[in-house]
Structure formats: C-alpha cells, structure tokens
Amino acid sequence: MAEAPARGLPGHTAEINPDGGTWNDCTRCDIAALMDCNTVAMLPGWEHSKGAQLEVLIADHLGMTVGNAHSLTKNVGALSRELIHQDLGIESTH
C-alpha cells in the first residue's frame, strides 16, 4: 500500500507507529514498512516533510511508483475493475 496517505489509511506514520517514539525510531519503522509497498501516494506539502522526502527518494531509487495521492486514488476503481475482470476471465470493455 502507499506510504504517506491520509491518517487512518495503511501506511500512515500514525498507523505504523501508534505509540509514537522519536523521529528516528518512527522513520526506521516507516522505511521498513515501505519495503512492502509498490506505490507511494504523496499528500500536498510532502516536500516540506523530511520523512516524506526520504520515503520518496528511497521509493524512486527502488523503482516504485511515486505520485500525487489524489491522482493515484482516482484510478483505483478502474484498475480494480480491470483486475477483477482478469481474475474472472472477462474480456475488458476498453
């Protein structure tokens, strides 16, 4: 799942580190969680967060998809339908 989405979604720092901790402790956990992701969805203003900047740098170097959270989530419904159709063996309509 994406990193740095809105609070309450998998990947958000508060969800990965519910008990808090130092910035270093939380960042280590966040980076470990990032290794299970293939896409990083960035919120507006991410460039002002050194943690988000680090996540984007790592994700980019590892070839993960990095994009605007709004743009990425807009396409989730269409992608989900396409994957379900593939699983069911239904030919795509586009």
Residue 37 covered by a domain = yes
Token output for 11:
């990947």
Residue 93 covered by a domain = no
Residue 25 covered by a domain = yes
**Segments forming the whole domain that contains residue 32:** 13-69
Residue 63 covered by a domain = yes
Kindly compute the dihedral angle of the four CA atoms of residues 18, 19, 25, 27, in this order, to the nearest 10 degrees: 20
Model-level pTM greater than 0.85?
A: no
- Residue 53: predicted pLDDT: 93
Residue 43 covered by a domain = yes
Domain count for the chain = 1
Residue 50 covered by a domain = yes
pLDDT tens-digit map of 18-66:
677 788 888 888 899 899 988 888 888 989 999 899 999 999 999 999 9
Residue 92 covered by a domain = no
CA distances from 62 to 2, 11, 65, 88 (A): 14, 17, 9, 32
Residue 89 covered by a domain = no
- At residue 39, what are phi and psi to the nearest 5 degrees? -140, 140
